[in-house]
Amino acid sequence: MRWPHIEPHLITRSLVPENQESPIHFFSLAAVTPEGFFYIRNHFSYPMLSEESFAVTIDGEVRNSLTFHYRDLLSMPSKEIAVTLECSGNKRARFKLKVYGIQWEEGAISQGVWKGVPLRDLLNYAGLKPTAREVVFAGRDCGTRTDMAGTYPYARSLPLDKALHPDTLVAYELNGQPIPYKHGYPLRLIVPQWYGMASVKWLRSITVLDARFTGPFQVVDYVYEPGTDSDDGKSPVTLVHVNSTIQFPMDRSLLDTGTIQICGIAWTGTGFITDVELSLNGGESWVSADVHRLPNQPYAWILWTYRWDVSQQGEYAILCRARDSYGNIQPAAASWNKKGYGYNAISSINVKVE
Ligand code: MTE
């Protein structure tokens, strides 16, 4: 008899467009999320690719408008960087005051090693004019929105300093292979430390503007809105908030007394994770977890573990909070906003030891 092969699957949130979360509780969260377990976040149906899709143009406030072909990029100096990609809607389902939008649990996050050419090099070839202010990236996917006439591409901008950061890449490889189609083949932007919406897939064009970009994915979506009717207090979604997830055990597990290896991940877009603390008594006291880093990969999540010796039967509230080198720490309650972005409250589970 052949032993049945059992493996986890993506968790479907919508099929058209495809939005699926990673089954992060059920595989080893090492440096690289295997392709089949990488979360998928799309606003539109997949784009059709043709010969033309292998070229990306640079124009706008540049001295020379240029077109780079996939082949050109493969022969240019490149970088390989491990980057945690997290959707800003990750954990939206956790807001107590419910908001509309995909009800992501904890799996709108994955990690991969991306290889590509620093965007800065491409912009330098084109030569930025002194008027350059923002850089807009358009994908090849497009569709309709209720707030826009006609069809509209997925397009996002970066301020000049982030566009010129040496680790902002026009990527062509994920984990040593061409980028999978669903994740942006053949070319995709990778913006470490920013939420995933900035990393535009199926990159078609790069346009340098002398003004702020006001496309709907920039100024309507991906904006923290306090929930009042006025525009006061609105701010764009940019850097990833310090955060953590308990991978094992799962919420509401029944466990035996003995030694339990609690484990998970922690990540941030501001600096690096300095420490992860656990509470095994609902927040009365905290202990430090062991932290395991990928060497020389500042944008990768860290794995943490804690050996819990538990002899007393009963119900336990286990909490986890991460802190980063900017002094940011996960708050007791996430900052509520109308569209439910950036949830990062202290992670918590309840378990029963029998
Ligand atoms: N790029 C394009 N062209 N179209 C999209 O819908 N979604 C963005 C970003 N880039 C998107 C895109 C969002 S919101 C996220 S979180 C990430 O891609 C998801 O990347 P993934 O599907 O490879 O995990």
State the average pLDDT for the chain. 96
Task: Check whether 38 has a pLDDT greater than 90.
Answer: yes
User: What pLDDT is attached to residue 2?
Assistant: 84
Find the mean pLDDT for residues 294-315: 97
∠ CA 37-53-175 to the nearest 5 degrees? 30
C-alpha of 126 from chain center = 29
- DSSP state for residue 219 in the 8-state scheme: H
User: What pLDDT is attached to residue 111?
Assistant: 98
Mutate to test the pocket of ligand 1, among 20, 21, 39, 42 (most ligand atoms within 8 A of CB): 42
The band of 325, judged by pLDDT with boundaries at 50, 70 and 90, is very high
Task: Check whether 39 has a pLDDT greater than 90.
Answer: yes
What's the gap in Å between 46 CA and the centre of ligand 1?
Answer: 11
d(CA 57, CA 205): 5
Find the mean pLDDT for residues 39-65: 97
What's the gap in Å between 324 CA and the centre of ligand 1?
Answer: 26
User: What pLDDT is attached to residue 1?
Assistant: 78
Find the mean pLDDT for residues 185-193: 98
What is the per-residue pLDDT across 85-94, written as a single tens digit (0 to 9) for each?
999 999 999 9
Task: Check whether 235 has a pLDDT greater than 80.
Answer: yes
CA of 222, closest atom in ligand 1: 14
Find the mean pLDDT for residues 238-265: 98
In terms of phi and psi (left: phi > 0; alpha: psi -120 to 50; beta: otherwise), the region of 311 is alpha
Domains defined along the chain, listed by start: 11-236 (3.90.420.10), 243-353 (2.60.40.650)
d(CA 9, CA 136): 34
What's the gap in Å between 130 CA and the centre of ligand 1?
Answer: 31
Asked whether 116 lines ligand 1 (CB < 6 A), one says no
Residue by residue, what is the 3-state secondary structure of 181-230? HHHCCCCEEECCCECHHHCCCCEEEEEEECCCCCCHHHHCCCEECCCCCC
Cis upstream peptide for 186 (omega within 30°): yes
Asked whether 139 lines ligand 1 (CB < 6 A), one says yes
143-147, 182-186, 245-249, 288-292: which range is least confident on average?
143-147
CA of 189, closest atom in ligand 1: 10
The closest alpha carbon to 353, from 299, 314, 303, belongs to 314
User: What pLDDT is attached to residue 101?
Assistant: 97
Asked whether 203 lines ligand 1 (CB < 6 A), one says no
d(CA 323, CA 333): 15
d(CA 100, CA 221): 12
